[in-house]
Amino acid sequence: MTFPVIHSTLDPVALTNEVQARYDVIPPLTCQLISRANNDFYRFSSDSIHYALRVAKAKFRKPADYFYEAEYLIHLQKAKYSAPRPYKALDGTYFFEVDAPEGSRTITLFSWLDGEVYNKHLEVSDAHKMGRSLAKLHTCGESFNPRYPRTINTIKILEERAPFLMEMLKIDKSARSFYIDAMDNVVKAYQSLSNSRLPKGPVHGDFQFANVMLLRSGGLAALDFDTCGFGFFSEDICTFLWRSDMEIKSTEINDSFLDGYSSIRVLSIEESEAIKIFRVARDLVMSASYALLINRVGPVSGFDGDFSPFTVLAKKHLKEANIS
């Protein structure tokens, strides 16, 4: 019997052969694994150009989700918004699949962006620029008309990942009880927003500082559109706020981000109020995601083996949202 595998590392030589056979690239190419986490990223290089190759984890998304992402990124490129551009293969597709021990993995070739990804050591001015960048992304998407719709369903995501959290907490009865009650209350509060008229549109899905690059040219680019789709704009804002709350812990940074956003797209009173619920919903989704991914991605930033900050943040935001 072959022992089960949850996240394999693909052979770079085989990947190089696949890329050269499927894309209009000029050999010889070199291939180097540069990031191994939720997805694996490789840098492909020739004499004159670099490419970024993403190998998604198995059983991550449906094909329609990858189509949506590709169309969205192409739309953003036409709108002059900086983000990675997917390359079209010789057969006209924007991704392909290979069989790995843990299942089929989807592979996409992107343009290489030259710059530095931000970390938690942000300046207040950086946060302001990021807020403006997210607002521009939201306004750029107003004319986007995808052939393959993809809707952000936070409650469904939470329901799918909650069992992993319950399994992880099976010997911590106090924490387990807290999360069971919190999920029940937050789902009810979230459902009230689902029936509201809060503005929606194409969103990034994970616009946190580690998914923003300062380009050599001086501008910003958004990275990692894995979880993009049609959703609430104010919920998308909370993806930045959550990571900031977790690692930076600065109200000044958060306020600057919101000020930057509002300088491009003004938030309604209803949207500002909804952020309180979206924020704690993000807490629960990320807590459940931690349980799902910790043994897949290992100790990386945000998933370093210490779960307690997730619970502390969830309790804080539950109190602020007055959800009980």
What is the phi/psi pair of residue 203, to 5°? -125, 160
What is the structure's pLDDT at 59? 86
What is the structure's pLDDT at 299? 61
Taken in order of first residue, the domains within the chain and their CATH numbers are 12-112 (3.30.200.20), 124-321 (3.90.1200.10)
Spans in the chain with pLDDT lower than 70: 298-305
How much is the pTM? 0.94
What is the structure's pLDDT at 300? 57
What is the structure's pLDDT at 301? 57
Task: Give the C-alpha distances (Å, rounded to integers) separating 122 from 130, 249, 267.
Answer: 10, 11, 23
Q: State pLDDT tens for residues 224-261.
A: 999 999 999 999 999 999 999 999 999 999 999 999 99
DSSP annotation of 227: T
Residues near 135 by Cβ (< 8 Å), separated by ≥ 6?
260, 261, 262, 263, 264, 265
What is the structure's pLDDT at 37? 83
What is the structure's pLDDT at 231? 97
What is the structure's pLDDT at 194? 80
H/E stretch holding 118: none
What is the structure's pLDDT at 323? 87
Residues near 272 by Cβ (< 8 Å), separated by ≥ 6?
234
What is the structure's pLDDT at 196? 84
Q: State pLDDT tens for residues 6-46.
A: 899 999 999 999 999 999 998 899 999 999 888 999 999 99
What is the structure's pLDDT at 271? 96
How far, in Å, CA of 56 to CA of 169, rounded?
27
